[in-house]
Amino acid sequence: MAATFLIIAGLMVAVRVVTADDTSAAVPFPVEFRKWAVLRSLVVGPESKNFTINGGFHHYYEKEKAVEGLHTGHFPDGAVVVDERLEIRQEGGGIFEGPRKSVAVMHKDATRYANTGGWGFDVYAGEERTQGASGGVRAACFSCHSKSKERDFVFSEFRK
Ligand code: HEC
């Protein structure tokens, strides 16, 4: 009994330490994001120096709560924006969506992600749904998105 209590107490301490130290906590996979509104799409071509990672289609999706932020520049908790990256497949003169390369996600929760501007950043490779990116990668997302700090770390604007 006492041993069980100690183990549970130990686990609780471990969990708390990880949370307190984690400057860029992991973000859950944005389930069914393909049902959300499309904010915009773009294509990164072979002349881009980041083609290996970023090349191909990008579709940005906005979960309902993100709409307010896109208009005001201040996103409420629960806002989620997704950057889905897909390979390009050319056929018969057409350009089509190929396999999914990755799903990058920004999730607003001012308390949980207080150390990264209130946004959680993460990226899921291919069809992966449970294992996101390393802390280093997530920190790099935040660092670059800080260039758009005045628009609450989001680059895209709503197009009428
Ligand atoms: C070197 C800079 C840079 C890094 C690193 C970066 N991004 Fe971005 N991200 C951008 C830019 C710039 C855009 C907007 C591009 C455009 O549409 O013109 C963007 C767009 C986005 C969008 C669409 C919303 C918006 O801001 O327009 C999401 C979601 C996103 N990035 C998530 C991530 C995640 C998650 C990571 C880390 C895995 C990441 N980004 C890493 C620069 C970066």
Would you put residue 126 in left (φ > 0), alpha (ψ -120 to 50) or beta?
A: left
- H or E, element range at 140: helix 135-145
pLDDT bin (cut points 50, 70, 90) of residue 25 is confident
Here the tokens at position 118 are 């209130």
pLDDT surpasses 80 at 8? no
Cβ of 54 below 6 Å from ligand 1: no
60 residue type, one letter: Y
Return the ligand 1 atom nearest residue 60 CA.
23
Average pLDDT over residues 2-26: 49
Would the pTM count as exceeding 0.95? Answer: no
Mean pLDDT of the chain: 88
Cβ of 60 below 6 Å from ligand 1: yes
| Residue nearest to ligand 1 atom 28, measured at CA | 83
Report which of residues 9 and 103 the model is more confident about: 103
User: Within 13 Å of residue 72, how many CA atoms lie on the same side as its CB?
Assistant: 9
- 93-144 pLDDT, tens digit per residue, is 999 999 999 999 999 999 999 999 999 999 999 999 999 999 999 999 999 9
Task: Give the per-residue pLDDT at 4.
Answer: 52
Residue of 44, 144, 147 with the most ligand 1 atoms within 8 Å of its CB, for mutation: 144
For residue 116, give the DSSP letter.
G
**Which residues partner with 94 through β-bridges?**
91
Cβ of 82 below 6 Å from ligand 1: yes
pLDDT surpasses 50 at 13? no
Strands (E), the chain: 37-44, 56-62, 80-91, 94-108, 119-125
Cβ of 79 below 6 Å from ligand 1: no
| Residue nearest to ligand 1 atom 5, measured at CA | 141
**Please, what are the domains in the chain?**
24-151 (3.50.70.20)
